[in-house]
């Protein structure tokens, strides 16, 4: 099957080195300390962060650093067919472990000893590159929660089909049986923290493919930085608004309460007379 046409266009019309469209939203889960939705093309992932908070199982308490826990699940409806076992299977456990270890490398855990940080990631729509989207979403959620980090972690995948390195594979390209390289980097330090690869690749071609994925990560990093700056600006405005809003709400409530009390008292007085 032809994944790259002779003109150099992929199945969805992209060029080989073109990434899918990115979209991020911060603050999706209001009950969480930090949350984010991250979309890469048709892949949509939501991440929520709780913490730092008290350790729930005292036996796991660590005296010099924070305990990081991570859970990765796929929603039943995320792939085409309804999945039977969305969590607890081996693939989910491995990806949970991978995400946890990747985020652990960038969180400054020694600043929050004896506490726990929970990261929950759920895939809402799966179209290839779920691992990368999860890590990007987790980074945003951690930044939203204000957890001290060494650097952002961004991730992107790449592959090699029809003798061409391709950036950001979607599901069809991923299941073609060719190699799939997922890279996670710390962009400012320019260091690789996550690297996973399967299927076969000669070593020199692998170097090109990894380089391409790293470039993709840097592009994602720029986008995430933009989103965070936008969000911080909005938060500053939102706070000012919220203050006045809450005051207004309080006034309304007091007004309503006092009106009810007066009505009640009036009724009493009426009944007496």
Partner 1 sequence: MWNYDLFKRAITLSYKRFRRILAGEIMEQRLANSLIMTVNEKNFIEAALLSDLRVDGRRPFDYRKLSISFGREDGSSEVQLGNTRVMGFVTGQLVQPYRDRPNEGTLAIYTEFSPMADPSFEAGRPGESAIELGRIVDRGLRESRAVDTESLCVISGKLVWAIRIDLHIIDNGGNLVDASNVAALAALSTFRRPECTLGGEDGQEVIVHPPEAREPLPLIIHHLPVAVTFAFIGKENVVVIDPTHHEEAVMGGSMTATLNTNGDVCAIQKAGGEGVLQSVIMQCLRIASVKSGDITSKIKSAVESYNTERSLRKIKRHNPPAGYKH
- Residues of this chain that bind partner 1 (CB under 8 A): 58-61, 90-91, 93-94, 96-105, 181, 184-186, 189-203, 206-207, 210-211, 214
Beta bridge partners of 198: 180
Cα angle 195-52-61, degrees, rounded to a multiple of 5: 85
> How near is the Cβ of 22 to partner 1 at its closest, in Å?
22
Shortest distance in whole angstroms from residue 214 CB to partner 1: 7
Q: Quote the DSSP letter at residue 241.
A: H
Q: Which is nearer to partner 1, 198 or 268 (CB)?
A: 198
The CB-of-106 to partner 1 minimum distance in angstroms stands at 8
Of 223, 167, 203, 188, give the one whose Cα is nearest residue 25. 223
Q: The sheet that has 43-54: what strands, in order across it?
A: 22-26, 34-40, 43-54, 115-125, 67-74
The Cα diameter of the chain in Å comes to 98
What is the sign of the dihedral through the CA atoms of 52, 57, 58 and 64? negative
Smallest distance from the beta carbon of 96 to partner 1, in angstroms?
8
Cβ proximity to partner 1, 58 vs 239, nearer residue:
58
Kindly state the smallest distance separating residue 76's Cβ from partner 1, in Å: 19
Identify the three-state secondary structure at position 242.
Answer: helix
Nearer to partner 1, 124 or 171 (CB): 171
41/128 with CB nearer partner 1: 128
Tell me the pairing of strands 191-198 and 180-186: antiparallel
Could you tell me the smallest distance in angstroms from the CB atom of residue 161 to partner 1? 15
- Gap between the Cα atoms of 137 and 131, Å rounded: 10
Q: Which is nearer to partner 1, 93 or 164 (CB)?
A: 93
- Residue whose CB is less far from partner 1, 29 or 209: 209
């Amino acid at each position: 099957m032809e994944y790259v046409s002779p003109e150099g266009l992929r199945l969805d019309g992209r060029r080989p080195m073109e990434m899918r469209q990115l979209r991020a939203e911060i603050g999706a889960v209001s009950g969480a300390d930090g949350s984010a939705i991250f979309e890469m093309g048709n892949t949509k992932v939501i991440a929520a962060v709780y913490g730092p908070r008290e350790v729930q199982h005292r036996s796991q308490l660590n005296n010099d650093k924070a305990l990081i826990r991570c859970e990765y699940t796929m929603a039943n409806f995320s792939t085409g067919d309804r999945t039977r076992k969305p969590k607890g299977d081996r693939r989910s456990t491995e990806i949970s472990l991978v995400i946890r270890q990747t985020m652990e490398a960038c969180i400054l855990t020694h600043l929050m000893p004896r506490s726990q940080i929970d990261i929950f990631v759920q895939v809402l729509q799966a179209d290839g590159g779920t691992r990368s989207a999860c890590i990007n979403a987790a980074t945003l959620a951690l930044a939203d929660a204000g957890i001290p980090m060494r650097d952002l972690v961004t991730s992107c995948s790449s592959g090699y089909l029809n003798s061409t390195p391709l950036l950001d594979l979607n599901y069809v390209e991923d299941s073609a049986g060719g190699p799939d390289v997922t890279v996670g980097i710390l962009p400012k330090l320019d260091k690789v923290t996550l690297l996973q690869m399967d299927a076969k690749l000669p070593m020199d071609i692998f170097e090109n493919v990894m380089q391409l994925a790293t470039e993709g990560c840097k592009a994602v990093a720029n986008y995430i930085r933009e989103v965070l700056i936008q969000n911080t600006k909005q938060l500053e405005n939102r706070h000012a608004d919220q203050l006045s809003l809450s005051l207004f709400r309080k006034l309304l409530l007091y007004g309503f309460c006092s009106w009810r009390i007066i009505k009640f008292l009036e009724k009493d007085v009426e009944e007496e007379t």
